[in-house]
Structure formats: C-alpha cells, structure tokens
Structure 1
Amino acid sequence: MQYVLYNELSNNGKGKEILEVVKGKVNGEYEIVNVVGLDPKEFVQKLTADDLIILCGGDGTLNKFANYTADLEIPCDVLLFPAGTGNDFYRDIKENYDDSEMPSIKKYLTNLPVVTINGNNYRFLNGIGFGVDGVCCEMADDMKAAGKKDINYTSLSIKIVLFKFKCPHAWITVDGETVEYKRAWIASAMNGRYYGGGMKAAPDQDRLGDKLTCMVFKDKGRIGTLMGFPAIFKGEHVNNKKLVAVREGKEITVKFDRPTALQIDGETVRGVTEYTARK
C-alpha cells in the first residue's frame, strides 16, 4: 500500500490544497494519512517492505517524522513531496533528482546529528540557528499566534539586526577548541547547506558526511553585519573572514552570556543560553 502522509498545517495552513496536487502524482491505490495527531512509531511498526511512504510537508514535518522514527527501522522506501514554507531540506538535495520526481529520502533520515538543550535531546536535519535567526523564528511565531500571515522573514531579520537584537558575548567550542567572540549575531551548527528559507549558511557542508559546520557572524556592529548579511543567500558570506568564521567538527558547543531564542529546523526554543550538537 502507498501511504500519503500530509500535514494540514504546513505552508501556512495550505496543506489540504497541496494534498490535491500530490494525489495527481500518485499512481495506483493509496491511503491518505493526516500526520496531525498521528503516532509515527505505531504507524511505522505496521509497515512492510512492500509499502511506500509519500511524505508531504516541509522542514518541520520532516523533523518531527525523523525524531519520532529515529530508533526504528523503516522497512519501506520514503518519498518526499516538498510542501512547506522554506523547504530547505529539499533545496539541499534536489540537484540530485529530476524536478518532476519525488525524491527518495530514506538514506537521509538515519544517523542524524543530535542537539542537547537544557538536558533534552533533539535530532535535526538541516541546522541549529542561535541568535538573530532564532529570534526571527520566535517573533514570527508570536505574529502567527496573533493571526498574521505571509510573514517576510528577510525583512524581519533586518529589523531585528537594526533595532531589536542585543548581541550576546559567546564562547564556541568545536572538538575541544574554544574561541571567544565579543559579539555573536548568529552561531549555527549545520548538517545541511541551507536553512532559514534559502540561506546557504554552510555551502561546503555534506549532510551525509561525519561532521557538522559551525558558522558564526561575529564581532561587527549593526551596520557592518547588515551590509554583509545578504551574501548568505548565495553562500558567499563565508569569504568575508572579518565578519564570518567557519569551523568543522563532530561536536559543537555554543554558550551565550544571556538567554536567546534558538531554532531547530525552523522550530523555536525560547530562552536558551547553551547548546551542544554532535554527529
């Protein structure tokens, strides 16, 4: 049996509309399953090698599916129909596939890195954003809760850098080597190349490799940071050594001197002072 898993809340509540598009791409018999309220572990345990999962959703849906099924052996293939707002996971892998096909993603759901925050462990697919990007997700969540739609994350980030963000002092340790930064605007641990709806934060990162990339926007003032920020959308920010520091490693620990919002594949965790990511 083919199972089409969809999230009715994805893409700002347009999940049901996108589902109709997916139906036109599925040949043969299939069953539709809404992931809202679904127990993924119970669902996966009932599958056989003859089944097929078509996962319809964005980075948030993917992250939840990966976390719930991380300790299970999925017996069948898993295909992806990207239906989120950012779709950074799909953006990272799509060059390996034809645009008309739904890519097989099963190999990307195993051996995922783990981030530890306040004693809790979470697996992630794309990256951890700590600083301006975390605050951006926090503010966007508040705006959504207030009923606002069509939020422009780029303009929101600019406003945060210019007016709202009090830049923290940071200590960042990669595989045992600690570097101190007087200002850390962004301190990310990347498993893929993209996050934040198209920001190419770690252009050389290989999600199937055995290391993470730590990317830091550092030390500059508000105007200097804002001027250098747009280069991140093409991955060219890493060439600005005065503004951006990049290190690779198997374990990354970031400590801020004040609580700041953090995002995991676009999902917000508020009031964080430290995280450790391992691969």
Structure 2
Amino acid sequence: MATAYILYNPLSGNGDCLENARNLEVYIDDDVTYVDITRIKSYPVFINVLEPDDYLILAGGDGTLNRFVNGTADISIQQEILYFPTGTGNDFACDLRRTAYTNPFPINEFITHLPTVEVKGKTYRFLNAVGFGIDGYCCQVGDELRKQPDKKVNYTLIAVKGLLGKFNPRNAKITVDGVEHTYHKVWIAPTLNGRYYGGGMMAAPEQNRLSEERTLSLMVFHGAGRLRTLCIFPGIFNGTHVKHKKQVDILTGYEIRVEFDRPTPLQIDGETVLDVMTYVARTHLY
C-alpha cells in the first residue's frame, strides 16, 4: 500500500497546521505519515526512502512551499506532490484560483524550472515573488512583532503606518534584460512569478507563471507622495493600481536587477532578508 507523507509546518498559519492537516485523513485511504518539515535535515535522505507509489502532501502556506522548493532544488522527485493550503496568505493557491483548506491538488508542474533570486551572495528559488520596499519592511516589522507575546501581526496596519511615515521611499536603478531605468521615490519594486504576493496583493495582473515565454514581471510603484500613494495603494489588492500610469510601471523580462540607494528589507515568498541594496531575479531560461 502507498503511503501519504504529510509534510506540515508547525509555524504556518496560527500554529494549528498539524491539527488542520489531520483533517486530510478522511480523504486518504492509504497509510499516513506526518513529517514536521522544519525537522527535515536532509531532503536527499528523506526522498530516497520513498517508494515509487508514495506521495507527498505539503500542508502550510507560501513560506512552507518556499522552504520545500529550496530544500529540494537539486533533487529530481518522481513521486506526486500535492498541496494543502493552510497558511495566512496562500498567494500561490490564490494564483491558481484555489482557496485555503481546499482539497489537496498536484503541484509538480509548478515547482519545477522555478526562477531564482540572488541576494547578498546567496541564490534562492522562489514561487511567487521577491518583494523589495515597503513590503519587505512589513515583513521585518511582522517578524519583530511575532517575538513579542500576545502581539498580533496585521500587515495592512503595518503598511498604512509605513506609508504615513515609518517607511521612506528609495531611489532605484532597475535593469531589465540589459535595459536600464531610473526611478525616484520608489515605494515598492517586487519581481513576480505569479500574479499575487504579500497576502492577496495582485501586483502583476497579467503575469502567468506557466506562460510559454516564462518571463517575470516587475511592478514599480514610484513618484507619488505619501497621501497620493495611500490613495492608490489599496488598488493593489484587485489589480486596479496599474491604471495609474504615472505611478505604476510593469516591466517584463528574463533578468531583472533592482538597486536601491539605501539598505532595505526584502522578502522572498514571505521570508525576510535584512539590509539589502541589490537583488537580481532570473528565469530558468536565462
């Protein structure tokens, strides 16, 4: 009999990922083994013990997926991989028009040939986006709040406070496939593999992660003052922000380099990297 290995992240959501994952047992007729993904020390060793008809179910959010795709970057996995979204943002699931706690669905085709991002001398794969600007700032503040007992993280509130004065925009030099662009007062400059990131923001409405070209989209929100930015910003949750041509540019390409004039927090599928000046995102075709 095949075994369903449910890889859960105890840090996902509100810490109740394992409890939610146990609900899957009513849909599974095979043997079930639960694996804490944060305790896997060697993915090659773990994958090597699987039988051909075994399969994996990843239970968690975008951070769980990011951990998995980077941990298995150099491994060819023959078994079927399914995803059970139980995170707080679930941008990957949203991009595929799935909802939280939907029945597990196969994702093998979506986690191969992923784009990479080079940050501070290290290279990571990413599923959804690399966020640079106020989104990275929000992740930094959120991480700090989680360390404090009884502190709830509200990213929308953090973003509003940032727009009103906590975060200062940067100047940026952006190079897309060798073509250089200069921007002033950049609030946000994410590179996206899918349409969504940051817990439901549709930053690049036309981006298709499985397009034939496999290009990436860079969204640059720039040039506006705090109040104007605050008025436009909510549109990012339904994609209407792109109508503001003077403040929002969408650039597409195979290699995207973003350079800020000051150190800024950056996030990769929700995982924070501090004090970043430059990142370079590339598709697997570059």
Corresponding residue number in structure 2 for 1:256: 260
Q: How does 1:158-197 map to 2 (within 5 A)?
A: 158-197=160-199
| Alignment correspondent of 1:54 | 57
Q: What does the per-residue CA deviation read over 1:144-174, in whole Å, with 9 as the maximum and x for residues that have no partner?
A: 0112443111111010011111111101111
Matched residues in 2 for 1:273 and 1:160: separation? Answer: 19
Q: Cα deviations across residues 99-135 of structure 1 (Å, max 9, x unaligned)?
A: 8531100111110000001111000000011000000
What is the rounded CA distance, in whole Å, between the counterparts of 2:266 and 2:102 in structure 1? 35
Higher mean displacement: 265-274 or 160-169: 160-169
User: Any idea what SS the aligned residue of 2:97 has?
Assistant: helix
% of aligned pairs identical?
47
Normalised by the length of structure 1, the TM-score is: 0.96
What is the one-letter code of the residue matched to 1:254? V
1:103 maps to which residue? 105
Match of 2:73 in 1: 70
**Match in the other structure for 2:148:** 146
Aligned partners of 1:251 and 1:148: how far apart in 2?
Answer: 42
Which runs of 5 or more structure 2 residues have no equivalent in the other structure?
none
Contact residue 48 and residue 75 of structure 1 kept, 8 A: no
CA distance in 1, matches of 2:149, 2:277: 29
Shift of 1:74: 0.6
8 Å contact kept, 2:84–2:102: no
Cα distance in structure 2, aligned partners of 1:86 and 1:148: 20
Q: Alpha-carbon deviation of 1:237?
A: 0.8
Distance in 2 (CA, whole Å) between partners of 1:266 and 1:18 is 21
Equivalent-residue separation in structure 1 for 2:48 and 2:180 (angstroms): 43
Residue matched to 2:44: 41
1:270 aligns with 2:255: no
1:155 and 1:100 mapped to 2: Cα distance? 28
Partners of 2:151 and 2:91 lie apart in 1 by: 20
Q: 1:126 aligns with which of 125, 128, 141?
A: 128
Counterpart CA distance in 1 for 2:250 and 2:115 is: 18
CA distance in 1, matches of 2:102, 2:90: 16
For the residues of structure 1 that align with 2:170 and 2:31, how far apart are their CA atoms? Answer: 54
Q: TM-score, normalised by structure 2?
A: 0.93
> 1: CA distance between counterparts of 2:84 and 2:151?
23
Measured in 2, the distance between the counterparts of 1:186 and 1:141 equals 19
How far has the Cα of 1:45 moved from its partner?
2.4
Q: Tell me whether 268-277 or 23-32 shows the greater mean CA deviation.
A: 23-32
Report the CA distance between 1:48 and its aligned residue: 3.2
SS at match of 2:197: coil
Structure 2 residue aligned with 1:23: 25
- Residue matched to 1:235: 239
- Greater Cα shift, 268-277 or 205-214: 205-214
Distance 1:178 1:110 in 2: 30
2: distance between equivalents of 1:161 and 1:178? 27
Equivalences, count: 277
Cα distance in 1 for partners of 2:29, 2:200 equals 31
Matched, 1:217 2:215: no
Q: Structure 1 runs of 4+ off > 4 angstroms?
A: none
Deviation at 1:217, TM superposition (A): 0.5
